[in-house]
Structures are given as C-alpha cells and as structure tokens.
Chain A
Amino acid sequence: MAPPPGGLVVAFDSDPRSLDPRFQTDANGARLGDLLHVALTRADPTGRRVPELARSWTMEDRRTVVFHLRPDFRFADGTAVTAADVKATYDAVRDPALASPKRTALAALSAIDTPDATTVVMHLTDASASFLDATGLGILPAARAREADDVTTGAGPFRLVSVVRGDRLVLAPNPHYPDGPPRLDPLVIRIVPDETVRVLELRRGGIHLLEDAPEPEMVTWLAAAPTLVVRRAPGTSFVYLALNLRDPRLADRRVREAIALAVDRDGLVRYVLGGAARPATGLLAPEHWAYAPAPARRHDPRRARRLLARAGYPSRGRGTPRFRLVYKTSAQPLRRRLAEAVQADLANVGIAVDVRVYEWGTLYADVRSGNFEMASLAWVGVTDPDLYYLAFHSTMVPPAGYNRGAYVSRVTDRLTSAGRRTFDPLERRTIYARVQRRLAHDVPIVPLWWEDRIAVHTRRLRGFEPSPSGDLRSLATARLD
C-alpha cells in the first residue's frame, strides 16, 4: 500500500504486545507508548529524570516526593490530565487484582495524596533513590485506569486510530498536545518481520524510517541511495559476555581476566559491527550521569596465556586446548557472528569454545536457571544505576534479580546497597564510580560494546533525531517535506 500523503511510515519488526502503560513490557510497546502517553518524568539521554507531566518535584523528606503538574496536558478526548488521573493510574498498577507486571516497581510507594488538581504527593515506605525511575509510567484517564482490557487513551503527542494486528497501526496527532500537535498525519507503523524486506521497502519508498539498525552491509547499501540518509548516534544498549561463576574454572578471577584480555573488542566492533559501536568498559555508557571511566582492558593474548597458566591451565601443545567452554547464544545473525569471532579469539589463547545456538526463549530460560558457562547477552534501556544492585548484588541471583553468573563480592554488595539509599547525586556518583572500578577488577562479565543507534530515513523527513535509547519521541516535532 502506498504511503499516505503527509504521513510517515515507520517499520517495526514485530507487533507491540500492549500499548497500555500498565501492561507494556516489550521494547516496541514502550516505543509506541512514548508517543501515546505522558508520564510524570522521563529519562534524558544521560539517564537523568527530567520533567514531563510534572513540571517540577521536590523531596519533602526522604520518604515524601511532591510533584507539581503542568495544567495544560489533555488526553486525546480533550479532558484535562489532573492529579486524580495520576493517582488512579498508580493505584491501579499497585492493585494486585490487575496483575500488572509493573506492580513491584512501585513497591516502595505506600500512598498517594492529591491536595489539588495539579499536586501529587507520593509517600514511600522506605527511602529509595531509584524511585524516580518508576515515575516513567504513562498516565491513563482516571475513569478507565481500572479497566481490565487494554486502554490506549493517553495525553501523548499522538493518538491511536486503528490497529490491524500483524500488519499496521495508524496513529494521528493528538490535537490537544500542549507543545503543538505533531505535523506527521498519519503516523503509520508497519510490521515487517524480515530485515531484508524492511530494507527493500525503505529503498523503494514503501516505508520512510527504519530505526532498528540493519546489518552493517545493508546500511552501506542504503547509504548509497540518493533519497535516503543514514543517521548514527551513540547508543546505550550494552552487549556483554555473561560468565557463570558457579563453574570452578570461571570462579577464578584470573581465568575471567584472561578471557577479557583474549577478546579483541576493537576487532569485533570493526569487523562484526562495521564500526557501529563503541568498545565498552562497563554497563553504563559514557553519556550516563553516573559513568566513571574504568581501566580499559586492551587485547593482550600473551598476558591472557600467562594468566591461564598461572591459574593452573598450562599450554598443552598445539591443537590441544587448555579447557573447553560452552558458549550459548541466540540465533540472531549478528550474535552468531559474534560467537564465531569470540571462538576464534579464545582459541588463540588455548580455550576451545563450543558454540550452541538457541531460540531466544530457550536461551533465556537457560541463563535464568544458571544452565550456561558463557553466553552473549545485552542490557537495553539502562537508566538508573541501581541496576548494579539488581545485576551484581549477591542476593540478586535469579529468580530474585539478574545476577545470573552468581557473582559474590562483599565490597560490591556494600556499595550497591549504599547506592540505593543515597539521595545526594554527587555522593551517589562517587559510590557508583567505585562500583564500576570494582567490577572492572573482578570481571564478573566481559563488557563488549555499546551499540550505536543507526536510523535510516528518507531525506524528506526533517527534525527527527535518533535517540540513544531508540525512542521515537522526536517524531512529535518532525515533519515530512
């Protein structure tokens, strides 16, 4: 179907599962949710919370946050967004009867008061420095906040017009959007699962914007088209090798450091990703407010071999590995190429790697249950550094959290616990700088890269800015010439 005149067609690889902020859990749902709903706060590219529906907020004490709302936001049906809508949405999510997957994120919230239409007072059960991260919840009209079915009415820049599952979603400007209704009318989201087809459609003009980075060689092909422009921006998605420290070989820090030294990160970025990433030193990208530079571990196979020998794995002659590791990965082509490259790098220091490719659901189940030795994984959408607690504190082994490698360090435990109780930004920054240095020393995971955001779009699209997290919010101010 030809793109509608004045409208923009964006391609997604799969349907968003839910457009209701109470139930959104997938990346595509979140990207569209951003366009349909407004939240009290949103994350800026540095990971800091910035005002959206709340024009400001203050901490009355360590357990009380007062939000002052903008009075000019209106839902797509024209009714004003008030403190009552905020309270109703948060209360609905906290209600176990609704079975919202976001309920636990609001566990620190004990009560909400609304002294007037533009003031929301949130009372916390315990001091939680990361609580503001939970205020990115999209607000629904109070009258509909407890409906069991999906509610898509929001006060974001766009409103939902129609959904044809598996095919397309059509959005139109919210005429009441206070910063001025968007000029893209309609905004069509087409679901095109095959990457090659998305690229062909873009080249032929069937779609206007591709925000998910295609394979590097396809980007080169698209860049040659005179009607298209390739945009690159530093991204925050972090790709790493997860190591299972329950394995006695990987429990030895020297072995883990040897693996980190054996992997040629610069080579991976150059040859596997076509340069579309930055070699990573840790979870947080350099743009993040809490980022602290950690000592870079340069590719050094010689030192890796020495460390392995010292750890009790001496060279056993050409062709005989020191030991074997199983490397689990998803079937995504890029991840498979990464596995082959890591396999070659580790073979170079005498570690044989058996690559096992799994469908995502199987890989995820194995990683969660600790049934892996080494696996390639990614963190997407990191905002608050409290993730260090969830991913590296010794009590956060699944199912409690995300410490999948069962890493244990008393120093990291102490620091990450302090980080979540500290409100002063400078103090928090100091704590997380120490966490980052500690993790760089202990190597519980092997950081690989921060993926760049690559967007390809028609030259007619003006005002679109690819964001580090991949959100599409700048479409609210973009236009099609």
Chain B
Amino acid sequence: MGTLPGRRLVLLLPTVLGVVTLVFAFLHLLPGDPVEIMLGDWAAPADAVALRRDLGLDRPLAAQYVRFVGHAARGDFGQSIAFRAPVARVIADRYPATVELAIAALLLAVGGAVPLGVLAAVWRGRALDRIVRLVSLAGVCLPSFWLGPVLMFAFAMRLDWLPVSGRGGLAHLVLPAATLALGMGGILVRLTRASVLAALGEDYVRTARAKGAPRWRAVGVHALRNALVPVVTVLGLQAGALLAGAVITETIFAWPGIGRLVVQAIQARDYPLVQGCVLVIGVTYVAINTAADVLVRAIDPRLAEPV
C-alpha cells in the first residue's frame, strides 16, 4: 500500500485503537454506574445485579475491553445500554444528520471565506479589508452556544424567516450550519487573506503580471492556487473541530445528530454507545484529513514527490 490513502489506512488502525482504548479507560474511571442510572431509583438491587450480569459489566475491565475490541473488529459494536438497540443501528440513525450539517457548514464556510479572504488581500487596507477582518475575528471569538440562540432569535423569532429548530428541509439547515460555519469561516478568511498576500509578493505572480496576465488571472489562478495549500490543510483539521462543535450546535437546534448522541451516551454511562460514536468520529476525522492531503497534492504536485 504505497499510495497516500493506503498509508493513511494503515495509520488509521493504531490511531482508532488508541482513541478507543483511552475512551474506554476514561469512561470507566468516571464515577457512576450505567445500570443504576438506567434503572433509576425504583429498581431493586437484585435487578441491578441481573442487568449488570446480562450486559457483561460484572466481568473484569480487561475482559470487557478485549471483548469490545474483538467484537468491534468484526463490525459488532454491541448493544446500547440506554436505547436497548444495536449500537450500529443507533449511530446509523443519527450519523446522516451530522454529515448533512457538517457538509452544509463546510460549504458555507469555504464558499464565504475563500472569496472574502482573496478580496481582502487584493484590497488590503481598504474598507472591505477592515470589515472582513473584523467580522472574521468576531466569527472566531463568538462561541456557538451564544451565537446559535442569537441567530435563532433574530432570524426565526423576530424576522420569521427560518424555523427555530429541528431537522427538515433546507430552511432548517441554515441556522445550525451558519452557527457552525462562522467560527470555521473566520479562521479560513484570515488564513486565505494572509496566504494570498504572501503569494502576491512572489516572483511568479510578478512575472505573470509582467507577461501581460490580467490582474484577476494573476490573483485567481497563480496566487490563489498556491495560497490554497495551507487553507486546505487547515480545512481538514477544522473539519474535526466541526464534529466537536456539532455537540453544542446540535443540542441548541434540536438537530438529531451524533454530537448530541455522544452527550446522551456519556450521561447515561452507555459505554458501548460512547465507544461506537468515538470510533465513528475518529474514522471520519482521519478520512477527512486523508482527503485533504490528497487534495493538497492535487493542488501542488511538488508535495507528492519524495524529498
């Protein structure tokens, strides 16, 4: 497996195993018993003992760990304690919603940030540049737990343009996607601006201009292509942050995604479900970053060559 995706796949296994092991260890360090939380106050101790045995929670931790990893390797993540359903099915129900939200946020962030970053660089020091820098700074600084309700109040309650919460058509996607996209977009705008500014000062751009290339071509083709390399790399890393940010955004907007599911699972000490979610998020994160690396090499073929 000499190709990049192949090498990444090989790396994926120890990465995911490491993450799962850490999560398993930390989950079991947390005080709280899933059986007691599940059964609540009204359950009798005998029921708790029986259920603990039924769920395999009475075995030594090492045995539980080996059992989980062995089953996970065969694609069996076990049974959710809280939902009484296979973990794979519970995650499959929620994963598409998170992917939908993340893609929408990504499109919004990239679609807004790259053109604005380029324009700010081209018109450096002018009013547009100042406004873009200010807005991007606000985007980075404002936490989603504040921004979400503010957007909701403005666009759903006051203006009545968009639904308040829930998952439905395209209109439902706008506010949660915008909440997620703003923070990521802020970083991308600033990075694009800085990268384009650096590229504009390079010899190849000056040469292109000297050879008569119009300004838009010098910027849009020559400068931007090189400036995109760090932007795409950061984009890959930010996609992971997007999954983490989804926890808050999904809770605020009642979006039935995997972010909210993780919180529910942790609160219920639903060990198999937490581990399953972490596994899926970990794999997604690595897959996105592999895709970003492939894209970077397509933009700049020099990076594909061994040094």
Contact = CB atoms under 8 A, between A and B. Distances in A.
A361 B85 CA distance: 21
A150 interface: yes
Nearest to B169: A1
Contacts of A360: 37, 267
Nearest to B166: A1
B35 to A, nearest CB: 9
B41 interface: yes
B63 interface: no
B8 interface: no
Interface string B1-45: 000000000000000000000000000001111001111111111
B32 A104 contact: no
A165 B93 contact: yes
Contacts of B222: none
Contacts of A361: 30-32, 37, 267-269
Interface in A276-328: none
A365 B29 CA distance: 12
Interface in A366-389: 366, 368, 379
Contact of B172 (A1, A17, A166): A1
B261 interface: yes
A52 B251 CA distance: 38
B167 to A, nearest CB: 6
B105 interface: no
Contacts of B30: 361-362
B152 to A, nearest CB: 6
Contact of A99 (B51, B153, B172, B252): B51
B32 A362 contact: yes
Nearest to A360: B267
Interface in A386-411: 398-400, 402
Contacts of B153: 200
A26 B40 contact: yes
B143 interface: no
B113 to A, nearest CB: 28
A101 B45 contact: no
Nearest to B171: A1
A25 B261 contact: no
A1 B163 contact: yes
Given A364-B32, A399-B45, A166 B38 contact: no
A264 interface: no
Interface stretch (A82-90, A123-131, A191-199, A453-461): A191-199
Nearest to B256: A166
Contacts of A366: 31
| Contact-residue bracket for chain B | 35 or more
Nearest to B53: A99
Contact of A204 (B43, B157, B168, B251): B157
B83 A96 contact: no
Q: Which of A100, A165, A200, A366 has the most CB of B within 10 A?
A: A165
B223 interface: no
B47 A104 contact: yes
A124 B153 CA distance: 58
Contacts of B251: 193-194
A413 interface: no
A411 to B, nearest CB: 25
B267 A200 contact: no
B254 A197 contact: yes
A175 to B, nearest CB: 28
Nearest to A378: B41
A360 B267 CA distance: 7
Contact of A25 (B38, B94, B152, B264): B38
Interface string B133-154: 0000000000000000100110
Interface string A148-165: 011000000000000011
A107 B253 CA distance: 44
A203 B157 contact: yes
Q: Which of B84, B94, B164 has the most CB of A within 10 A?
A: B164
A216 interface: no
A379 B156 CA distance: 38
Contacts of A149: 84
Interface string A317-353: 0000000000000000000000000000000000000
Contact of A104 (B44, B84, B152, B165): B44
A416 to B, nearest CB: 17
A20 B84 CA distance: 10
Given A191-B256, A204-B157, A359 B267 contact: yes
A25 B39 contact: yes
A206 interface: yes
Nearest to B153: A200
Given A166-B260, A201-B164, A364-B36, A17 B157 contact: no
B165 A201 contact: yes
Contacts of A46: none
A201 B149 CA distance: 12
Given A200-B156, A200-B164, A101 B32 contact: no
A23 B39 CA distance: 9
A104 B216 CA distance: 77
B73 to A, nearest CB: 25
Given A17-B82, A23-B84, A197 B252 contact: yes
Nearest to B34: A361
Interface in B263-307: 264, 267-269
A166 B31 contact: no
A18 interface: yes
A96 B269 CA distance: 24
B84 A164 contact: no
B170 interface: no
Contacts of B268: 17, 361
B198 interface: no
Interface of B: 30-33, 36-48, 50-51, 54, 82-85, 90, 93-94, 97, 149, 152-153, 156-157, 160, 163-169, 172, 251-254, 256-257, 260-261, 264, 267-269
7 closest cross-chain pairs (CB), A and B = A166-B256, A361-B32, A104-B44, A167-B256, A1-B168, A399-B45, A99-B54
22 contacts: A1-B166, A15-B264, A17-B38, A17-B268, A18-B83, A25-B43, A100-B47, A101-B38, A101-B39, A101-B47, A101-B51, A165-B93, A166-B257, A190-B254, A193-B260, A194-B165, A197-B164, A201-B164, A364-B36, A365-B36, A368-B36, A399-B48
Interface of A: 1, 14-15, 17-18, 20, 23, 25-26, 96, 99-105, 107, 149-150, 164-168, 190-194, 196-197, 200-201, 203-204, 206, 359-362, 364-366, 368, 379, 398-400, 402
